[in-house]
């Protein structure tokens, strides 16, 4: 038995793959154990390197840095979603003078690395007389790059819908804008929700690049605290805390995506039950009519 991409493994191959999995797991566990041992050996878990966390001012600065990270993420995510929706609709336009420039813009900002955009907005534009804050430069870069990716996600989601959806809407007298906004886009959003959330996770992690242009987010804060001589330069302990915060935020977004997906499935089940009930009622009415006709 085969599939399109590979042959289905037989008993020997499955045994071999299990052995590879065990060896790989042991190797990864050994590598992690070695890293942790090196941390212990170099004193990274000593109390003096973690004493910085006891100071209230440092705790408040951590909360401020987390707030700036979340602010950049929230604003960038909203703008990226709007950018993606607008340019996906523009790329799907029947007018070439709309779709062609939109395609150029989307492909351009998808191709430019995010760091280059941040450097351009923060260090390049002042030479032309336009000065942006670090927060604005980070948000604009996140919007343009991730918005371009989301535009392609939305476009793929809309194109994946059955043509009967738009044809039925046109038959009801809707204009193309109404069909796109009221019929196609909501369905595409539900269908592409996992991909959208995954891209938002990428956007959240990309906020860390803001430290390169002195945006005082979590990574920038961690570098500052990690270089403090009075605490023994606790760079690794600080980065462990920062990494744990990022992992927690990403897991929270993943949980939210799973929650929305399960809720969407429950709604579909309710709709299916309602449709089945309606069919049963129609069949019952038809049987009643047939029985009456037979009695006559």
How high does pLDDT run on average in the chain? 82
- The pLDDT score that the predictor gives to residue 294 is 42
Cα dist. 95→166, 216, 230 in Å?
18, 44, 64
- The pLDDT score that the predictor gives to residue 72 is 94
For residue 7, what are the β-bridge partners?
Answer: 2
Split at pLDDT 50, 70, 90, the class of 7 is low
pTM exceeds cut of 0.75: yes
Split at pLDDT 50, 70, 90, the class of 190 is confident
C-alpha–C-alpha distance, residues 199 and 80, integer Å: 10
Q: Which residues contact 21 (CB under 8 A, 6 or more apart)?
A: none
Q: Which residues contact 192 (CB under 8 A, 6 or more apart)?
A: 153, 154, 156, 157
Q: Which residues contact 249 (CB under 8 A, 6 or more apart)?
A: 70, 204
Q: pLDDT tens digits, residue range 226-281?
A: 887 777 778 888 888 999 999 999 888 888 877 877 776 666 544 444 445 445 44
Report, as an integer, the average pLDDT of 51-64.
Answer: 86
Sorted by where each starts, the structural domains of the chain and their CATH numbers stand as: 47-262 (1.10.3720.10)
Report, as an integer, the average pLDDT of 101-111.
Answer: 92
Cα dist. 263→71, 201, 249, 266, 268 in Å?
27, 20, 21, 5, 9
Q: Tokens 């941390």 sit at which residue? A: 39
């Amino acid at each position: 038995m085969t599939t399109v991409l590979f042959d289905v493994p037989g008993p020997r191959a499955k045994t071999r793959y299990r052995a590879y999995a065990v060896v790989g797991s042991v190797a990864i566990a050994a590598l992690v154990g070695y890293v942790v041992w090196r941390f212990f050996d170099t004193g990274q878990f000593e109390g003096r390197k973690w004493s910085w966390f006891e100071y209230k001012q440092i705790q408040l600065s951590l909360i401020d840095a987390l707030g700036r990270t979340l602010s950049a993420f929230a604003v960038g995510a909203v703008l990226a979603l709007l950018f993606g929706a607008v340019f996906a609709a523009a790329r799907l336009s029947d007018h070439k003078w709309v779709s062609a420039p939109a395609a150029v813009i989307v492909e351009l900002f998808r191709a430019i690395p995010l760091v280059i955009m941040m450097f351009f907005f923060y260090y390049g534009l002042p030479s032309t007389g336009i000065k942006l804050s670090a927060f604005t430069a980070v948000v604009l870069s996140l919007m343009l790059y991730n918005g371009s990716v989301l535009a392609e996600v939305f476009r793929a989601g809309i194109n994946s819908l059955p043509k009967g959806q738009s044809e039925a809407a046109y038959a009801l007298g809707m204009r193309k804008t109404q069909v796109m906004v009221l019929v196609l886009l909501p369905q595409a959003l539900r269908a592409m929700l996992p991909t959208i959330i995954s891209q938002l996770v990428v956007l959240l992690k990309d906020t860390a690049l803001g430290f390169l242009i002195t945006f005082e987010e979590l990574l920038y804060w961690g570098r500052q605290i990690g270089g403090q001589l009075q605490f023994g330069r606790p760079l690794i302990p600080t980065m462990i805390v920062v990494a744990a915060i990022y992992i927690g935020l990403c897991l929270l977004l993943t949980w939210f995506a799973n929650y929305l997906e399960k809720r969407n499935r429950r709604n579909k089940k309710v709709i299916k039950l309602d449709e089945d009930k309606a069919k049963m009622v129609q069949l019952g009415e038809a049987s009643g009519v047939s029985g009456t006709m037979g009695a006559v």
